[in-house]
Amino acid sequence: MSILELIEKRLEENFALHEQYLNPQMVRVLKTIGYDRHYVKAQGAYLFDNQGEKYLDLLSGFGVFALGRNHPKIVQALQEVLTAALPNLVQLDASILAGLLAERLAAIAPPGLERVFFANSGTETVEAAIKFSRYATGRSQIVYCQGGYHGLTMGSLSATGDPHYRQGFGPFVADFKEIPFGDLAALEKALINQEVAAFITEPIQGHGVRIPEPNYLPAAAALCRRYGTLFVADEVQTGLGRTGKIWAVEHWGVEPDILCVAKALSGGFVPVGAVLCRRWIFDRVFDRMDRSVVHGST
């Protein structure tokens, strides 16, 4: 039996399978709010169920499907790669595909971001940004904003300013400090001792869609420069055109030291994220041949 035949045969078992093997509470949520549909097709901005109904997908995978679902050019590119029998994941090699993608990202990155590190998700890009910031500056403190969302692994969760996601998972990574979003005085107070490795923020807070005052991000970046703190822009939700510009920081003319991107980068098919950073940061972390694998994953 082919995978397509298996899916067709058991399509309407999806909720039962999730109840038994995955997350039954999510199934309860879907049934409670009337989202217990059996989708059979996705195209562009729309989902189609087994009753022939058509739905406008306003969630778009929480921002993953910026180009729509099953975009034909992305499907074609993936099919070409999958049928090319490329030597993927050769550990003692330099992947041509990773090099080409890094080249394209560097070409559209904000000024000064010349190095690229690839990860498997948005939260992993934040983890990398935290580690890179600490190593490059020799400092340990990380400042983040109340209401911000940076992911659910332990480092990124330590920088997520939403009690709903943090409750019961502590204690968190040490030396993380929360300040109000948009409060420049609080930011300067946190930075003034010159012990902060990085200030991390979403240009626009995705959970609640909070847009900062016009002067906040430029002034925050200036404060970071003054006190030797790296400015980390988490563009996992806002990057790659979702706000009308390639990067949300462009609306305010801000040039971050590190930028995190994921979600839309995948086209909705593969888990991938990227950290774009200044050359000196990257070269300080990977400063010797024996440290060439000091951070990474398969």
Mean pLDDT by 10 residues, the chain (298 residues): 93 95 97 93 95 94 92 94 89 91 98 97 98 98 98 98 96 98 98 98 94 97 98 97 96 98 94 97 97 91
Question: In the prediction, which pLDDT does 271 show?
Answer: 92
Question: In the prediction, which pLDDT does 280 show?
Answer: 98
Our measurement of the distance from residue 126's CA atom to the centroid of its chain's CA atoms, rounded to an integer in Å, reads 7
State the first-to-last Cα distance of the chain, in angstroms, to the nearest integer: 31
Question: In the prediction, which pLDDT does 89 show?
Answer: 80
Question: In the prediction, which pLDDT does 274 show?
Answer: 98
